[in-house]
Chains A and B, each alone.
Chain A
């Protein structure tokens, strides 16, 4: 198989004042080139932590994360990240936000490249606006364009549509599929919505809580565009929901 990203026995322990907290335990996972992988789990299961480890913003307590044969030790434009909170730089216009990474890397044709990606997300008309003038959905599209502009090998998305309304959310799901199809990126997408995961992913990783472990990996294996009410999707949804309800029970029983 064409393995892009390999996680082997990744454990993450946080030291807090109440002692050690095991956030992730022995996560082993292979992510293929050009795969769309969703990670789902109850809140607190460490799915965001996992993404941050891949991004290089945190470091595993033990285990290794290897991208294209090289161990990840620090953040890099190789791995683009979209945060749940709107993370645009408020003092920069839309265009200058998209240019940011190109500017840091010292790329000369930054304006052209930025405009190309703004076109891709359909926001070129708004290039001279400031973030405060944009809606939530538009902000996330700018963030996507900004992450893509530096041409990362892999795109990490941390509940990127979590704070958007349902309509915008559906629209952006289609949009991200379109962009994914066009740019052939490897995507790791964290979400708490089962529907979102099943609509988007090639595989869905379902996580358990306390400590965060991989409970099950579900192959979706269906043609896109998918019908959200498809019978096969409903089956898989029930399967995932069953796992999650057990996990939630674990939390409330404690």
Chain B
């Protein structure tokens, strides 16, 4: 029991050491244009959040863009992944296209995003969509391709005559943890695209917009670092929330396999 408590808080001393070293190094350098002190960054949070009132609207705007990207990616990638994972021919037909598009960085799509969607939230959502789409797609079809043959045959013998039923009753539940993993990885990649998606000015708020359009690079490094930390922190919260909802509730049956 004692051991477990200790393990649980293991992150605390390392975090404290990191912060203290940062503070100390910045203090010695004494050049906020190169590395502002941690305490300065913390004070910036206060200024940006309370005095200027940026943080909450910026976060909400970014979550809105992220939500568009995530929703669209999930709705397109899951059905496509199911088709690719279940029907060998669909996989053969589409996989090369996917593999050409996949390595293109979402950043490179910005001109097209603007051309197609103008300076709108949809354009930002599209960039984020590109980050989330491929991990979900790949993990979905991998999950479907891994479905053990014996389970499908069992379902056939028990009355699942058509593909539709086999997918619904066997392949989909089997692949669900894999789809969830893809979604989780995709969410991480997608969040990294938020800054790129907002830096070309689709909105007058948003974490990425603020970071690039309003802060002065040289004099306001403390603001910039504050927003960087904010980006990281929000992503951490999203990930924890996702894991809490998905792993604990949906996948109790997986415990024996994973742990």
Residues of A at under 8 Å CB distance from B? 55-57, 74-77, 79-81, 83, 85, 87, 89-92, 100-101, 103-105, 130-133, 146-147, 150
Contact = CB atoms under 8 A, between A and B. Distances in A.
13 contacts: A55-B157, A57-B156, A75-B157, A83-B154, A87-B154, A90-B174, A91-B174, A91-B253, A92-B253, A100-B155, A100-B158, A147-B158, A150-B158
Contacts of A103: 169
Q: Which 5 pairs show the lowest CB-CB distances between chains A and B? A: A132-B256, A101-B158, A104-B159, A75-B156, A81-B157
B125 to A, nearest CB: 33
Contacts of A56: 156-157
A77 B151 contact: no
A89 B159 contact: no
Contact of B157 (A57, A89, A130, A131): A57
Contact of B154 (A81, A105, A130, A132): A81
Contacts of B237: none
A74 B253 CA distance: 31
B150 interface: yes
Given A79-B157, A130-B252, A146-B158, A89 B165 contact: no
Residues of B in contact with A, size category: 20 to 34
Contact of B151 (A55, A87, A133, A147): A87
A91 B173 contact: yes
A105 B160 CA distance: 9
Contacts of A75: 153, 156-157, 161
A104 B158 contact: yes
A150 B159 contact: yes
B159 A76 contact: yes
A150 B256 CA distance: 28
Given A101-B159, A130-B252, 13 more contacts: A77-B159, A81-B157, A83-B150, A85-B148, A89-B173, A92-B253, A100-B155, A104-B158, A104-B165, A130-B255, A131-B256, A132-B257, A133-B256
A104 B160 contact: yes
Contacts, number: 76
A185 B159 CA distance: 19
B211 interface: no
B256 A130 contact: yes
B147 to A, nearest CB: 11
Nearest to B170: A89
A108 B161 CA distance: 20
Contacts of A81: 153-154, 157
Interface string B159-186: 1110001000110011010000000000
A74 B157 contact: no
B161 to A, nearest CB: 7
Contacts of B155: 100, 104
Contacts of B165: 104
A57 B153 contact: yes
A138 B151 CA distance: 18
A77 B253 CA distance: 26
Contacts of B257: 90, 132
B157 to A, nearest CB: 4
Interface string B233-253: 000000000000000000011
A18 to B, nearest CB: 22
Nearest to B174: A91
A75 B153 CA distance: 9
A187 to B, nearest CB: 15
A92 B257 CA distance: 14
Contacts of A87: 150-151, 153-154
Contacts of A92: 173, 253
A147 B157 CA distance: 9
A85 B149 CA distance: 11
Nearest to B165: A104
B249 to A, nearest CB: 13
